[in-house]
Chains A and B, each alone.
Chain A
Amino acid sequence: GGREDPDAIYWYDEAAQARAHQEKPWEGDPHYFRRVRVSALALLKMVAHARSGGNIEVMGLMQGKTDGDAIVVMDAFALPVEGTETRVNAQADAYEYMVDYSQTNKQAGRLENVVGWYHSHPGYGCWLSGIDVSTQMLNQQFQEPFLAVVIDPTRTVSAGKVEIGAFRTYPQGYKPPDEPVSEYQTIPLNKIEDFGVHCKQYYALDITYFKSSLDSHLLDLLWNKYWVNTLSSSPLLGNRDYVAGQISDLAEKLEQAENQMAHSRLGTFLMPSQRKKEQEESQLAKITRDSSKITAEQVHGLMSQVIKDILFNSVRQ
């Protein structure tokens, strides 16, 4: 009848994958892969793993396949390594584990290969640091097709939606065309330099999600089981440290902006033509955006508390 089977994506066409690996359509075009499709299972596992790491960066690998210009992530597994932001190729510690895991997977019937790695940036947003860029460039040199995914578990709780980004790096020396401005995200002061220096060396892919009919059923059951926990939790209470850190960071940025304004002759109102041609947001404008974002999240948290208070505490017998 022409209706697409929602579970068809789970079928692994070994011949098609082998053909793609032979043809390597991604070799000629650094922008070849544009989309990422992540399964609900992989997303849940990655976010749960990232959250379990607390303030420590964790990492893992993703298994899947390619589908034209899309990388399909079917599953993910954690690696027993930490401190991905402190050294290049932290995953080197886990090579033996990766090999064992991949081999065992094939024996267990999961035919998909490793198509990428994910790691967490607790509280500082989804982007690639210098070390991440080096690691991903190395991966793209020797393990194509390969994808880098970054998850921020702290902002996930604060924002109420999964903070995730999928990236691929450009080859060394490649000058990318002007990309449209991606969604703004707050970068803490101590990471701004690392972010700014390398932000042109990679591009973000669009992420969409999919789930099987069994996943839908299981997720419904999970909702029934955990809705009370979900309803009674509050990001205001759970993310206090993070919010305090955000406000402190904002204060430092304000101080920095104030110092810069004191030294600048023209101030930030008139843009000298020697500066960049495109309109750049002034530092104060970015700070006000950050402050509005932090406040909006707090107000959302408070709104849910007030609504719960009215619904469940205002009724008396």
Chain B
Amino acid sequence: DNSLLRQVSSLLRRLPAMESEKFQDEFLTEFNDTLLMTYLAMLTNC
């Protein structure tokens, strides 16, 4: 099915969806912020 193959090919070309240093920085910042919040919440619980 050539149509399906073309669609699959187009889809696979889009991966990875997001690949840039700026994105990684923002993503890791968000990650760290949430981990910090969790840590603070645990302290509050204690």
A and B touching (Cβ–Cβ under 8 A)? yes
Separation of A291 and B36 alpha carbons in the complex (Å): 12
- Whether, in the assembled complex, A292 has its beta carbon less than 8 Å from a beta carbon of chain B, the answer is yes
Which B residues touch A271, using CB under 8 A?
A: none
A-B contact pairs, 14 of them (CB 8 A): A236-B30, A247-B37, A254-B44, A288-B44, A291-B41, A291-B45, A292-B45, A295-B37, A302-B30, A309-B18, A313-B15, A316-B15, A316-B16, A317-B13
- Whether, in the assembled complex, A134 has its beta carbon less than 8 Å from a beta carbon of chain B, the answer is no
Which B residues touch A298, using CB under 8 A?
A: 33-34, 37-38
The proximity string for A residues 249-284 relative to B, scoring 1 for CB distances below 8 Å and 0 otherwise, is: 000001000000000000000000000000000000
- Whether, in the assembled complex, A86 has its beta carbon less than 8 Å from a beta carbon of chain B, the answer is no
A317 in contact with B12 (CB, 8 Å): yes
- The size bracket of the interface on A is 20 to 34
Separation of A291 and B43 alpha carbons in the complex (Å): 10
Chain B nearest Cβ from A255, distance in angstroms: 13
- Whether, in the assembled complex, A108 has its beta carbon less than 8 Å from a beta carbon of chain B, the answer is no
Within 8 A of A (CB), among B19-46: 19, 27, 30-31, 33-34, 37-38, 40-41, 44-45
Q: Which of A288, A299, A305, A315 contacts B38 (CB 8 A)?
A: A299
Separation of A294 and B36 alpha carbons in the complex (Å): 12
Most central of B16, B18, B44, B45 by chain A CB within 10 Å: B44
Separation of A295 and B42 alpha carbons in the complex (Å): 9
Separation of A309 and B15 alpha carbons in the complex (Å): 11
A309 in contact with B27 (CB, 8 Å): yes
Separation of A317 and B34 alpha carbons in the complex (Å): 31
Which A residues touch B30, using CB under 8 A?
A: 236-237, 302, 305
A interface residues, Cβ below 8 angstroms from B:
236-237, 247, 254, 287-288, 291-292, 294-295, 298-299, 301-302, 305-306, 309, 312-317
Sort A-B residue pairs by CB-CB distance and give the 6 closest, nearest first: A295-B41, A312-B17, A313-B16, A302-B34, A291-B44, A291-B41
- Given contacts A291-B45, A298-B38, A309-B27, list 17 more A-B pairs with CB under 8 A: A236-B30, A254-B44, A291-B41, A291-B44, A294-B37, A295-B37, A295-B38, A298-B34, A298-B37, A299-B34, A299-B38, A306-B31, A309-B18, A312-B18, A313-B16, A313-B18, A313-B19
Most central of B13, B17, B34 by chain A CB within 10 Å: B34
Count of B interface residues, CB-CB < 8 Å: 18
Closest B-chain residue to A316, C-beta based? B16
Which B residues touch A316, using CB under 8 A?
A: 15-16
Separation of A305 and B18 alpha carbons in the complex (Å): 12
Closest B-chain residue to A284, C-beta based? B44
Given the contacts A236-B34, A301-B34, A302-B34, A294 and B16 also touching, CB distance less than 8 Å: no
Most central of B12, B27, B41 by chain A CB within 10 Å: B41
Which A residues touch B12, using CB under 8 A?
A: 317
Which B residues touch A292, using CB under 8 A?
A: 41, 45
Chain B nearest Cβ from A160, distance in angstroms: 16
Separation of A269 and B25 alpha carbons in the complex (Å): 45
Separation of A209 and B29 alpha carbons in the complex (Å): 39
Given the contacts A236-B34, A305-B30, A315 and B41 also touching, CB distance less than 8 Å: no
Chain B nearest Cβ from A77, distance in angstroms: 39
Which B residues touch A291, using CB under 8 A?
A: 40-41, 44-45
Separation of A254 and B45 alpha carbons in the complex (Å): 12
Separation of A237 and B27 alpha carbons in the complex (Å): 11
